[in-house]
Structure 1
Amino acid sequence: MSSNGILDKVAVVGMGCTSFGELWGASTDDLLVDAVTQALGGRDADLVDAYWLGTVGSGQSGLTLSRPLGLDYRPVTRVENFCATGSEAFRNACYAVASGAYDRVIAVGVEKLKDSGYSGLLRTEPPGDGTAPELSLTAPAAFSLLDPAYTGKHGVAPEQMRAAMTHVAWKNHRNGARNPKAQYRSEVSREKIEAAPKVAGRLGVYDCSGVSDGAAAALIVRAEEAKDYVDNPLYVKALSLVAGPMRGAFDPAYDFTTFPEVVRSAKDAYRQAGIEDPRTAISFAEVHDCFTPTEIVLMEDLGFAEEGQAWKDVLAGEFDAEGRLPVNIDGGLKSFGHPVGASGLRMLYEAWLQLRGEAGDRQLPDPRTALTHNLGGRPGGCVSFVSVVGRELGVCG
């Protein structure tokens, strides 16, 4: 795979994020206006040349954004890429500025899941030829397969894997309890996590991400002009998106212990950013913890842990807020919530706060680089997005 990257060609100079949760009193329009207004930071909306809107099921076309914002005939592009939809909006917006097509753009993601009355994603499967049987499974059922596959391949006792999964949930709820915008803002004991009703396989209620409403947005400009807008911008180091061939369900070589798409996108992002060892180059990461075993597998796919060792690193606290590489310091999908079209930009919002020293009670000491990761689809067939951003110009290695 070959990509040239746009290292330090664009920068984020403003961000906004609504609270995530069961926002019965706020419409899609309200959420979009709130997030974009925050991202503008008091600036006139007329300075924005173009917009990219990410949503899976809360609107069609650019009119979803232009109407509530009252835009004056500006280009608005609506994108969708499963759970990586918000990241897709950000990626396309960044490329537009890097290409020179526009000077100032906004990427925004939004989703209203709760109003559907259905606890899950707002989508239906398109007609197919029957060769993708994993799509007939619910998301919890599909991701629950990671647990027995991982324990079987790496010789991990089921109770040890269960303890690691519990630790991921405990950690992310602990982090989310320190985040005023998170959907779930209370710590949850290990005992309560393990005693929760089962959803699929060994996944209990607390092993699954929240279903929520929310929106997030980013204002993007050329890097050389970033300090005309703000003293401490975020410089984009790498953007990588890959889509897999979706052969996992009938490929005997696929063993449900890895996401090949994540491995590919991570390697590409690290090459773009000049990163040789992500365990030392990345200050913290926001990853797609849709289910607790997913986060464990991602630690290996992203190069944060050796193969078969992530469960040990999790239990040792390596990815806790005080660990060597904090993961999901804002609570992640697990605690912050997962309004599909907004999640990728929500991850970037935490990078914005942390790298500017504005994260409050969960502020990390002197972070310099951040990684965000989105996963859309299922084990065996998905899209994967990885970004790297930093507070200073230059490669991250």
Structure 2
Amino acid sequence: MKKSIHDQVAIIGMGCTSFGEHWEKSTDDLIIEAAAEAIECAGIEPSHIDAAWIGTMDSGYAGMTLATPLKTDYLPVTRVENMCATGSEAFRNACYAVAAGAYDVALVVGVEKLKDSGYSGLVINSQPGDGTFPNITAPGAFALLAPPYFQKYGLEKKQGKEVLARVAWKNHQNGAKNPKAQFQKEVPIETILKAPLVADPLGVFDCSGVADGAAAAIVVRTEDVNKFSGRPMYVKALSVAVGNGNGLLQSDYDFTYIRENQKAAAEAYRQAGITNPLKELDLAEVHDCFTPTELVICEDLGFSERGEGWKDVLNGKFDLNGVLPVNPDGGLKSFGHPIGASGLRMLYEVYLQFFERAGNRQLPNPKLGLTHNLGGYPWQCVSFISIVGKELT
């Protein structure tokens, strides 16, 4: 029987480093910086922490990745990896452990030090298989979303490219307002359209940044929030859908949607009691690893009717002053994408927005937010959704 974590757990403090090329900082430095901010925000002492989770794809192994820099007092520390949903997965595990009563206070940190690793964002080692899985780069895989979408919904390639450029333009507009973003500069649509191709039809500005960074959260049970001075943000839903390998085997799959997104969204909305996400949510942070991904995600998550997302993008529906602001912090596209940190970075933005700490990108009185990660490929991935609220319901 499916149950819900609705309002059982709260985040009482969050921290986040700036994202970017941190040649002068180590993985340890980033973990310490993010965790210190979260601990201070929560108004707790490090000794209050009962357990910790560290999410990283390839910047450390085992719990010592966190225990060593933070010098924790032999606490249980679990290292988690779940592709680009790694930070969100670490958060989910901590939430369930706290809700179950195993621990009272949990620290969650997501971190990635990609620049020193030589990881380019284009080529990674494929996991072992039977030889039938396509050997393809991430931009190449997500570029496959665009031509079928254009064809199915009647867009000429030029018009389709303009839609994708509008997604990138919006996220750079938002990132320019964010002092912690990797790219803090507005980019004209003409520049985006003329950028060199990476994987047709995607140009350089259609791809998210490769970055170093860390983010952190302090999690407690809702019944205990009054014991701490940190301001609480309540978890309404946590949902993960994992592809079962059938994506490319199903003849009806046409690359205009991502099944795992649909499954994760349906379950998250059930837990949170949401029937109309467009009207009920105040902001959304989604996994815009590439511009067509954000376009498809907005339809998968019910922000747009199927085949109408491109019109909503052009009409500014998801702009900072739109009906539903999407990626108000700049998203992966502008904030950057240190893989293990991205999911927690999204929650950090919602936390800032709820408590009017978002500066000149501040939204008017937001109370309900969604974060979304995906890792893998359009035809087989891990999709994660959290829904968090400013108030108990």
Same fold by TM (over 0.5)? yes
**Alignment partner, residue 8 of structure 1:** 7
| Percent identical residues | 60
Aligned to 1:61: 62
CA distance in 2, matches of 1:255, 1:246: 16
Instruction: Tell me by how many angstroms 1:303 deviates.
Output: 0.3
Check the 8 A contact 2:44/2:228 in 1, yes or no: no
Task: Please state whether the residue corresponding to 1:86 is helix, strand or coil.
Answer: helix
> Given residue 358 of structure 1, which amino acid in structure 2 is its aligned partner?
R
Distance 1:196 1:165 in 2: 13
Q: Write the letter of the residue equivalent to 1:18.
A: T
Q: CA deviation at 1:249?
A: 2.5
Distance 2:391 2:123 in 1: 39
Q: Counterpart of 2:173 in structure 1: which amino acid?
A: R
1:237 maps to 236
CA contact (8 A) 1:3 1:268 kept: no
Matched ranges for 1:1-397 at <5 A: 3-41=2-40, 43-120=44-121, 124-133=125-134, 136-230=135-229, 232-394=231-393
In the alignment, is the contact (CA less than 8 A) between 2:277 and 2:302 conserved in 1? yes
Inter-partner Cα distance in structure 2 for 1:163 and 1:124: 33
> Number of matched residues?
391
* CA displacement at 1:193 relative to structure 2: 0.3
Gapped runs of 5+ residues in structure 1?
none
Question: Is 1:16–1:36's contact at 8 Å kept on the other side of the alignment?
Answer: yes
Q: Is the 8 A contact 1:232 1:391 kept in 2?
A: no
CA distance in 2, matches of 1:51, 1:83: 20
CA pair 62-360 structure 1, distance change in 2 beyond 3 A: same
- For the 8 Å contact 1:56–1:122, the answer to whether it is kept is no
Q: Bigger shift: 327-336 or 231-240?
A: 231-240
Using the TM superposition, give the Cα deviation of residue 364 of structure 1 relative to its aligned residue in structure 2, in angstroms: 0.1
Q: Distance in 2 between matches of 1:270 and 1:97?
A: 22
Alpha-carbon deviation of 1:123? 5.0
In structure 1, distance between residues paired with 2:226 and 2:155 = 50
Residue type matched to 2:362 in 1? Answer: Q
What amino acid sits opposite 1:271 in the alignment?
R
Instruction: Verify the 8 A CA contact 2:11 2:232 in the aligned structure 1.
Output: yes
Q: Deviation digits for residues 241-289 of structure 1, max 9, x if unmatched? A: 0101122223211111101000000010000000010011100000000
Question: Helix, strand or coil for the counterpart of 1:167?
Answer: helix
State the SS of the aligned residue for 1:101: coil
Structure 1 residue 231: deviation in Å?
5.9
Contact 1:242 1:383 in 2 (8 A): yes
1:163, distance to aligned residue in structure 2 (A) = 1.2
> Deviation string for 1:350-376 (max 9, x for gaps)?
010001111111000010100000000
- Deviation of 1:37 after TM superposition, in Å, equals 0.5
Which segment drifts farther, 324-333 or 117-126?
Answer: 117-126
Deviation at 1:69, TM superposition (A): 0.6
Are the aligned partners of 1:8 and 1:237 in contact in 2 as well (CA < 8 Å)?
A: yes
Q: Distance in 2 between matches of 1:352 and 1:242?
A: 24
- TM-score normalised per structure 2: 0.98
One-letter amino acid of the counterpart of residue 340, structure 1: I
Asked if the contact 1:242/1:264 (under 8 Å) is kept, the reply is: yes
TM-superposed CA distance for 1:126, in Å, is 2.2
Residue 122 of structure 1 deviates from its aligned partner by 8.6
* Superposition deviation, residue 107 in structure 1: 0.9
Rounded to whole Å, the distance in 2 between the matches of 1:122 and 1:227 is 47
What amino acid is the match of 1:204?
Answer: G
CA contact (8 A) 2:213 2:341 kept: yes
- Cα distance in 1, alignment partners of residues 273 and 164 from structure 2: 32
Q: CA deviation at 1:121?
A: 7.2
